Chain A
């Protein structure tokens, strides 16, 4: 019997610890498929961050390291500078990347560091059980914004791709979503392009993936998908903000 679907080689058989309806599993799979297709498993180094995906070093069947909260781009920089032939990627959530790790992500991008960042934005601190994140939407209720996020008290959500797009350094910036099969395919394409940018030595690449957190949004998995479409995408528009490869091709 022909195998039509199986676990990517770049994923271990460790069971995911993610909640029902969480999108980390899909995103892990897309990264692993990319590693398989580009045949880079033997030279890839994954940098796990702090948050729900802290155990990603157990899921990716590659060499891996666990970084302190927010520091993954700095750790990835050290690895890439010492092992330039390796493919180095970080896997970070919004609290890790856009709050405590703001300096590290901005400067890794500004240096044009030749690494790939998978940035999972679910508008909430997941692992610590649903506090307000730097990406929490206006009006969104969390355990630390019980009246909804009010700008006069808690400021505004950060659009990371747009912020980094003001810098000269990045070679690839895209925002995608995985809330339906069409968008999953587009997300896969962007993740693969980001790794290809690194392989071609073009520099910093980042894919922001909008992701559901039904547990901390207090929604069913299906309602959470609706929330991405109706609330998140209008504030966080999908698309490619930077693609050095394409400019090269057409230019």
Chain B
């Protein structure tokens, strides 16, 4: 298949179809509405179901129902809508049901604005809903990577039987880039003997998250913990750019990492040995990869469209070995290359003095 020019939001939809997803339940909210609009046209063409739910709450519970039958299913929203889905996400995690949830983040808190933001990092990586659970969180930085991670997200969700979140932002959702999505590749979806299909001669299947016996519930919690540990060991992904000799490593994800890459190039042109570390999985956070990339650097600068959320994971990963600074823009403001270069200079100067 040739590369075509697509909006990020539409690429999510086309990639989901390529991954064998035939069910989408959603509710309109800016800046992700192109995705349900796109799927309302596309899904019926491939024999799938698009349903506009009465609320985000209903949509995530429809996902819970469809996922329980073993179907590949997706929902999408933006920040305030993702808050509404949290109860359902907790149930999906507890009941070990796979699905893909897309959050095209906008600025908050409250109704906030409709411009891009990364201020849902805590919500995405710390659970968001109630109870001890995790979701795999994938953070693309281009339209091509959106498509690739959506397809990979469905695989990870099925493999680990848990929800996977695609965490993008308004810029990624709205911008157009060339993308190649191979819709002809045959998707092999693994058998799901736990799925609800009607008994059909076998013992009945039950999907449930209620467990009133503390010992039994603890066993279930431990089982989930073991799986989360396995994911931490196996599924971290990150990109490194010019970090080998870097004196300052900029840590950023998503669209901000694109801005920071340009800032790293400009800083290098001005004689500052800068590099970029871009986590692709936000949970599990690529701790080891960050230490490899930045362990020998003089300092690390985390840049985000938030008041400082991912920076906490950066600090936890480095555990005091390297000083960490933070630069953030909020409210829907995207940092410019000039902003980041200025910050790189400021931080480099500060640590040069310290030395």
Task: Using CB atoms, name the residue of chain A closest to B67.
Answer: A78
The answer to whether B198 touches A78 (Cβ under 8 A) is: no
B277 contacts the other chain (Cβ, under 8 Å)?
Answer: no
Chain A interface mostly: helix
Taking A66-B208, A82-B71, A104-B54 as contacts, is the C-beta distance between A75 and B62 under 8 angstroms?
Answer: yes
Interface window among A40-48, A160-168, A218-226 = A40-48
Contact of A39 with B by CB under 8 A: no
Closest beta carbon of chain A to B53's beta carbon, Å: 7
- Asked, given contacts A45-B198, A82-B71, A83-B69, whether A103 binds B206 with beta carbons under 8 Å apart, the answer is no
Interface code A78-100, partner B: CB below 8 Å = 1, 0 otherwise?
11111101110000000000000
Q: Are A78 and B196 in contact (CB under 8 A)?
A: no
Q: How many residues does chain A have at the interface if contact means C-beta atoms less than 8 Å apart?
A: 37
Q: Which residues of B contact A55 (CB under 8 A)?
A: 210
- Interchain CB contact under 8 A, B61 and A75: yes
Q: Which of the residues A61, A64, A77, A86 comes within 8 Å of B62, measured between beta carbons?
A: A77
Q: Which residues of B contact A42 (CB under 8 A)?
A: 198-201
**A63 CB-CB contact with B under 8 Å:** yes
Given A63-B196, A64-B206, are A71 and B51 neighbors across the interface (CB < 8 Å)? no
Contacts of B62 in A (CB 8 A): 74-75, 77-78, 81
Mark B195-232 against chain A: 1 for CB-CB distance below 8 A, else 0. Answer: 01111110011111110000000000000000000000
Nearest Cβ in chain B — how far from A86, in angstroms?
A: 5
Q: Chain B: interface secondary structure?
A: mixed
B104 CB contacts on chain A under 8 angstroms: none
Nearest CB on B from A222, distance (A): 31
Q: What residues of B have a CB within 8 angstroms of the CB of A124 in the complex? A: none
Q: Judge whether B262 is part of the interface by a CB distance below 8 angstroms.
A: no
| Nearest CB of A to B308, in Å | 33
Interface size class of B (residues with CB under 8 A): 35 or more
Residues of chain B within 8 A (CB-CB) of A57 are 206, 208
Cβ–Cβ contact B198 & A76, under 8 A: no
Residues from chain B with Cβ under 8 Å of A106 in the complex: 54
Task: Check A54 for interface membership: any CB of B closer than 8 A.
Answer: yes
Check B115 for interface membership: any CB of A closer than 8 A.
no
Q: Mark B64-81, 1 if CB is under 8 A from A, else 0.
A: 111111010100000000
Contact of A75 with B57 at beta-carbon distance under 8 Å, contacts A66-B209, A82-B73 already known: no
Residues of A within 8 A of B205 (CB): 63-64
Chain B's closest residue to A71 (CB) is B61
A19 within 8 A of B: no
Which residue of A is nearest B209, CB measured?
A66
Known: A44-B198, A81-B49, A83-B198. A65 touches B68 (CB 8 A): yes
Min distance, Cβ A78 to any Cβ of chain B, angstroms: 3
Known: A66-B207, A66-B210. A81 touches B66 (CB 8 A): yes
Nearest-neighbour CB distance to chain A for B219, whole angstroms, equals 18
11 more CB-based (< 8 A) A-B contacts, given A78-B68, A87-B198 = A41-B199, A42-B201, A63-B199, A74-B65, A78-B61, A78-B66, A82-B71, A103-B55, A104-B57, A104-B61, A107-B54
**Which residues of B are in contact with A by a Cβ distance under 8 Å?**
23, 25, 49, 51, 53-55, 57-59, 61-69, 71, 73, 87-88, 91, 95, 196-201, 204-210
> Can you name 22 A-B residue pairings with CB atoms under 8 Å?
A43-B198, A44-B198, A45-B196, A47-B65, A55-B210, A62-B204, A64-B204, A64-B208, A65-B64, A65-B206, A68-B87, A71-B61, A74-B57, A77-B62, A79-B65, A81-B62, A83-B197, A83-B198, A103-B54, A104-B57, A104-B58, A107-B58
